Amino acid sequence: MSYAQFLLFGALGGLARGLLGAYKNSLKIGNGKKIDWKKMGLNIIVATVIGAVVGLIVDQNPITAVASGYAGIDVIESMMKLSKINKF
């Protein structure tokens, strides 16, 4: 498989993660609050890009690329939380 295909598979995983996060956030919004579509769209785009990069780096397997793309943003969030706790 080519690198472009792994980028695509990772991006699909990231896109799925971004859309799921947007859906979950839309369920939390209530009591007259409005959805910030710009922020939500940016979140989906960032998740897709990060998913593409992680999907390319991790493995040469399409299934792993999709799963890594889905988990990519979570890994970065966890690293950021750890760096705040450990003051790296």
To 10 degrees, the CA torsion angle through 69, 70, 72, 75?
Answer: -150
Instruction: Tell me the C-alpha distance between 13 and 64, whole Å.
Output: 10
Domain that holds residue 58: 3-86
Residue among 17, 6, 18 at smallest CA distance from 56: 6
User: What pTM value is reported for the model?
Assistant: 0.69
Q: Considering its fold, how many domains does the chain have in total?
A: 1
Give pLDDT tens digits for 24-58: 777 776 666 777 778 878 877 888 888 888 877 77
Residue 31, amino acid: N
79 pLDDT band (50/70/90 cuts)? Answer: low
